[in-house]
Amino acid sequence: MSAPSMTLFHNPASPFVRKVMVLLHETGQTDRVALQASQLTPVNPDPALNKDNPLGKIPALRLADGNVIYDSRVILDYLDHQHVGNPLIPREGSARWRRLTLASLADGIMDAAVMIRYEVALRSPEKHWDAWLDSQRDKIRRALALLEADAIAELTSHFDVAAISVACALGYLDLRHPDLEWRKENPKLAQWYFEVSQRPSMIATMPKV
């Protein structure tokens, strides 16, 4: 085993970081990446991260040549070009745009869920903006409803960028927002998630509370 040639700014709770980690596991590349812990919040930045990514966001990946790439979509695309197995992001055709659109939908769920987390965990209750929180929760509900109605067969067909992204979004809802009880309205998605949760890549990257 050679020394890792890349460094990933990492926090196990971040669903965006988890996507990268799951792809590394699925493509047999975990040994190539060292993890640099980043304990950041919007009001408590990580100076080392800010030097490499002025946006101060994780994940960011420092490559062997010192260049840094971000955000998670770019990192997934990069890493998917670094292995010899079947691509997890279709390279062309309508499948590419459909799978990337499903992945973007999952990213939107993560965005809304992380925003809710920050608002609720970091701001005092009297400052919570309830209408804004409701609107974030509505985005999540609408996105899940679309997946439940239209995408189960597609998610089941490949564990690729779309499925990885949806699985990490659902994992984050379980971690931070169990109160949303997303399984109640989405039983097919719940069954699909139960099955993919048993993949070694999902078990190895499961965040601990």
Which residues make up the interface to ligand BEZ (CB under 6 A)?
11, 13-14, 114, 117, 176
CA–CA separation, 48 and 53 (whole Å):
9
Residue 14 C-beta: closest distance to ligand BEZ, Å: 3
Residue 206 C-beta: closest distance to ligand BEZ, Å: 14
Tokens of 85: 């197995």
Q: Which is nearer to ligand BEZ, 17 or 155 (CB)?
A: 17
Residue 40: Cβ within 10 Å count: 18
Going through the chain in order, the beta strands assigned E by DSSP cover 6-10, 33-37, 61-62, 68-69
Residue 49 C-beta: closest distance to ligand BEZ, Å: 11
Contact between 151 and 102 under an 8 Å Cβ cutoff? The reply is yes
Q: Which is nearer to ligand BEZ, 119 or 148 (CB)?
A: 119
What are the residues whose beta carbons fall under 8 Å from the beta carbon of 186, sequence distance 6 or more?
144, 145, 147, 148
Q: Which is nearer to ligand BEZ, 59 or 90 (CB)?
A: 59
Q: Which is nearer to ligand BEZ, 37 or 74 (CB)?
A: 37
Residue 145 C-beta: closest distance to ligand BEZ, Å: 24
CA–CA separation, 30 and 207 (whole Å):
17
Residue 92 C-beta: closest distance to ligand BEZ, Å: 32
Q: Which is nearer to ligand BEZ, 81 or 128 (CB)?
A: 128
CA-based nearest residue to 75, from 137, 135, 9: 9
Q: Which is nearer to ligand BEZ, 9 or 192 (CB)?
A: 9
What are the residues whose beta carbons fall under 8 Å from the beta carbon of 67, sequence distance 6 or more?
none
Q: Is the peptide bond before 59 cis (omega within 30 degrees of 0)?
A: yes
Q: How do 68-69 and 33-37 pair as beta strands? A: unpaired
Residue 88 C-beta: closest distance to ligand BEZ, Å: 22
